[in-house]
Structure 1
Amino acid sequence: MIQTRTVTLEIPVPEPATLERALWGLVAVGLAADVLTTQVGLEAGLVESNPTARAALAHGTLGFLAMKAGAVGVGLLCRPFLKREHRGIVPVCLALPWLAAAAVNCYMLAQVGVLA
């Protein structure tokens, strides 16, 4: 008599990219763009107009990055309190102001001739 067995091989398949993941990617882009354009602007003689960011910049770039990390931290702490389908609002609320700030920074850099 021949016995048969079934062998199951489980292969982990990465979860497909979700809209929320893409939005968190946008947060990273917005953060990097804001930090970079702010640093370039400060080196070009421009001043930070946001008083909270100006206070953070008094402690150097690390102070500025700590302020940004704090904002991301607050967003991550609030995220679990939202329904799954509404959690994308957290990265949107972080990314939009940073992207807008980077756009304003680019405009100001163009005005002083840094961006040609």
Structure 2
Amino acid sequence: MQSDAVYSVPRLTATVTTSDLDRFLWVLVGVSLVGDVVTTFLGLHLGLSESNPIARSAIDGYGLVGMLVLKAAAVGVGLCCRPLLPRVYQPIVPAGLALPWLIASGINIYMISTVV
């Protein structure tokens, strides 16, 4: 069976610029950072333990301040390294920060749900 009909495929007309993507990803970094810190401390309050040895040392030694300094250091390294990349690749930096923190938040939420 053949058809000579022409099919049109709907396409999105919105364009996403690199700066729009970059802005969205930095907001995602902030949200994921807060989510990770809040769920980590909630889990610790409920009797869970931190599995990351570096974060565990920072929390054991300095509490919330230690955790925030650790997160700030990671963001600082990202901000310092970002200019070394071509502009089109710079959104990789916030994506690389946000993704692990989003995953950690998800794991934390799961673990909290097992003890509540």
Alignment TM-score, normalising by the size of structure 1: 0.82
Aligned residue identity for 2:23? R
Q: Could you tell me which runs of 5 or more consecutive residues in structure 1 were left unpaired when the two chains were aligned.
A: 1-16
Rounded Cα–Cα distance in structure 1 between residues aligned with 2:58 and 2:94: 22
**How big is each residue's C-alpha offset from its partner over 1:26-69, in whole Å with a ceiling of 9 and x where there is no partner?**
00010000000001001001000000110110211000000000
Over aligned residues, Cα RMSD in angstroms?
A: 0.8
Which residues of 2 match residues 17-28 of structure 1 at below 5 A? 18-28=20-30
1:18 match: secondary structure: helix
Paired residue for 2:68, among 53, 60, 65?
Answer: 65
Q: Could you tell me which runs of 5 or more consecutive residues in structure 2 were left unpaired when the two chains were aligned.
A: 1-18
**Greater fraction helix:** 2
Runs of 4+ with deviation above 6 angstroms: none
Greater gyration radius: 1
Residue identity over aligned pairs, in percent, reads 55
1:71 deviation in Å? 0.1
Aligned length: 97
Alignment TM-score, normalising by the size of structure 2: 0.82
1:20 deviation in Å? 0.3
